[in-house]
Amino acid sequence: RMLDEAATIAQRFQGSASGRINIRLGPHTVYTCSPELLKEVRKVASKLKIGLHIHLAESMSMKEAVKANFGLTETELLEEIDFLDSDVLVAHCIHLS
């Protein structure tokens, strides 16, 4: 599994180079990753004590697709699955609601 490989790499390099390297797992976005996958990525990141990075609300079409598929905004979906926390870096955030 890709997530297992990512976890192995994260463990290997996290804190290397005298602590200068900090690893984040980066599932692309809510519309390309299932809620189940996002939950699993969150579990792995929490277990390894590493951060997360995700693209969020970067286009109206994707915002609308997530709302149509899940009945929630991207942010609401991430909140519902307990993905968001202080260790999450979100990119874009153009169409937040």
Please choose, from the candidates 88, 68, 70, 65, the residue with its C-alpha nearest in 3D space to the C-alpha of residue 80: 70
| DSSP conformation class of 33 | S
pTM for the whole structure: 0.92
Tens digit of each residue's pLDDT (9 = 90 or more) over 33-85:
999 999 999 999 999 999 999 999 999 999 999 999 999 999 999 999 999 99
Residue 1's pLDDT band (boundaries 50, 70, 90)? confident
